[in-house]
Amino acid sequence: MTHPTWPGLLRDAFNATALDDDVVKGARRHKRRGMIRSVGSVPGALSGVVQDGAEFWHVNWRIAPIDEAGWAEIERDIHADPVVMVALLESGAPARTRDVEEILSRLVPDPADLEATCDCADWLVPCAHALAVGLAFAEATRDDVWALLLLRGRGRDWLVVSEAAARARRLLDRLGGRPPSEEVFGPVPSGARVSSG
């Protein structure tokens, strides 16, 4: 396993939206020359700026977020393997176990769910600028998987909260279903009396 799976799958998904080989070649050229000035993701959207000669073009990609049912399934699979949870909670590039690869690959959108705009007004959509931003983003997810999770609708806090909730459920199970507060601040035994002197 020399390369993680998901950046390549993501790159293929963006490339599959190109209507023309020249768009792919142009995008690679922009990327190779380091003309992509910024790339950032928010839930459901990716944006970036590409310098082309003296001009700066603004790119936006709209990407359908994963629905609640889809995320519930992914959350279950993350909780099923403690190694996956730890790998995802680590910052930077996660440990690449087969399960981590599999879960992250499922976050890659279908090309049909990718929709680009660019203010260069090229009649080919996506234009080379838009595709360059997509390809730069795909590469960046190699070391920053959270950019991909965020793009599909979940921030890092989501996993932290989800992990804490799972811990709380396990603790409750161990205590036989009673809230932990009863263990610590239980009722005063009936035999105890406050001394009145």
Interacting residues with Zn ion between 53 and 92 (CB under 5 A): 57
Q: How many residues lie near Zn ion (CB under 5 A)?
A: 5
- Shortest distance, CB of residue 128 to Zn ion, whole angstroms? 7
State which residue, 28 or 96, has the beta carbon closest to Zn ion.
28
Q: CA 78 → CA 10, 81, 85, distances in Å?
A: 20, 6, 6
**Residues 130-189 close enough to bind Zn ion by CB under 5 A:** none
Between 129 and 154, CB nearer to Zn ion: 129
Extended beta strands in 90-136, E state? 114-118
AA letter at 165: A
- Contact at 8 Å (CB) between 149 and 107? yes
Cβ neighbourhood burial of 179 (10 Å; 0-12, 13-18, 19+): exposed
- Pick between residue 64 and residue 125 the one whose CB is nearest to Zn ion: 125
26 and 128 Cβ atoms separated by less than 8 Å: yes
- Give CA–CA dist 124/53, Å, rounded: 19
Residues 101-130 as x/- pattern, contact with Zn ion by CB under 5 A? -----------------x-x------x-x-
- Report the residue number, 104 or 131, with the smaller CB distance to Zn ion: 131
Reduce the DSSP state of residue 52 to 3 states and report it: strand
- Given the rule CB under 5 A, which residues bind Zn ion? 57, 118, 120, 127, 129
